A = this chain, B = another copy of it.
Amino acid sequence: MKYLVRENPEAIETLELIEDAFSKRAFLILISCCRVKYEGRAVSRLGLGDRILIIKADGSFLIHQNRNLEPVNWQPPKTKFKTMIKDDIVYIKGVRRYPNESLEVEIHKTYLVSFFIGEDTKSLELAGYEEDMADMIFKNPDLIEEGFRPTSREYSTSQGFIDIIGKDKNGNITVLELKSRHAGVNAVKQLKRYLEDFEDHKKFVRGILVAPSITEDARELLEENKMEFVSLEPPNELKREGNVTLDFYR
């Protein structure tokens, strides 16, 4: 992961770092003493104080005080940003259309600027089925195909973590991408990226998308890329609740 941290930057440096983060579409965090103004669906003002500012790659903008779950001010994804500096004060303005609204921050002092470009391909599984599918496959690998033998989980690549890696009965390295629900092209693209990471090794690697079902587009993209699909239903119950490795208390 690439990242950058700067403590107590001057205003001009703060501005440069913010701009740098924007150009890299990074995950940006500032700890600053600031004033805030919002105008759009409503109108609000927030006087000077120390807060955390977060700007995400998709244009989400959050300002957090040290209390409450919710941000005190925010702007949803697709916000466009402008920055300015005047009299050692840095300004960030996030503007959005539909609805038309703007969030302006007047930064008087910055204690910390940090941005990073991280790996995070995983999306939330609201019932945890994906993990259960992996458990199920490890217990009964023939569910994928006769002779398949998984070797590791959460295998790290530059593209993220491969769900399951193993070998087929002919010894070919086989990469599994698991989806607990009807899978679309995104799942196929993800699998493709994993394989591309392996192709550097000049070895033949099989890619199998494992899901209960896939869209027609996904099926076509799989074929185009010589990858495969195995239909597998996730276990329909969270059995033995609490045997997950995360349970470390008692």
Contact = CB atoms under 8 A, between A and B. Distances in A.
A116 interface: yes
B42 A120 contact: no
The winner among A66, A161, A242 for most chain B CB atoms within 10 A is A66
Interface stretch (A125-133, A138-146, A199-207, A222-230): A125-133
Contacts of A154: 47-48
Nearest to A93: B249
Interface string A1-24: 101010100000000000000000
A169 interface: no
Contacts of A136: none
Interface in A106-132: 106, 111-112, 114, 116, 118-131
Nearest to A126: B44
Given A29-B29, A57-B66, A77-B69, A160 B122 contact: no
Contacts of A180: 42
A128 B67 contact: no
Interface in A87-121: 91, 93, 104, 106, 111-112, 114, 116, 118-121
A35 interface: yes
Contacts of A51: 118, 120
Contacts of A91: 246, 248
A3 B31 contact: yes
A82 interface: yes
A31 B127 contact: no
A44 B246 CA distance: 12
Contact of A249 (B82, B111, B129, B241): B82
A49 interface: yes
Contact of A50 (B62, B64, B119): B119
Given A76-B69, A86-B248, A122 B49 contact: yes
